Amino acid sequence: MRLFKVIFAVSICLNVLLLAFSYIRYDSNEEALNHAATMVMHDFVELESAIDYQLQMNWADESVILEKIEDILENLHMIEVYGSGLDLIDKQSNDELIAIAHVLSQYPEYTGFPNAQLTEKEREAFIQLRDKLRRAGLGMNMSFTGGWDNFVASMKKIIEE
């Protein structure tokens, strides 16, 4: 009977340690997801700034915009894979990630060469994207709060327009 009590006590202690470890790991993963979402929001601010700069400079280096969109698409994919794989994001959030990636994939693709030439129609589309980003609170000289929930809210604003 005494051996049973010892085994039972050790089992309870191990279960408590396992729960604590699981909680700490989940909290760490959630923090990483919040950080990744904040970084993508920074990328959107840089995209808005790049579009505005190219507009002011008469579209001197249009490939900068295309490269920034490619960076955002890669980071969105990383969040989708990471967040889904660890069950950190729900289906609705995953669908919104796919939707914002779809919005961005409609713009010209970055070829890796710094000689991109945009048409007037594409330039106008980028100007509209810049305006959408600003209305979503993602522009230069605008403050925003990072984190997953704010990221999702900003992405909804961009998608809904």
* Contact (CB, 8 A) for 121 and 66: no
Of 47 and 19, the one with more pLDDT: 47
pLDDT 10s digits, 116-132: 788 999 999 999 999 99
Which one is predicted more confidently, 28 or 151? 151
- pLDDT tens digits, 58-108: 998 888 999 999 999 999 998 888 777 777 788 888 888 899 999 999 998
How many helices (H) and strands (E) would you count in the chain?
5, 0
pTM of the prediction?
Answer: 0.80
CB atoms within 10 A of CB 102: 10
Confidence of residue 6 (pLDDT cuts 50, 70, 90): low
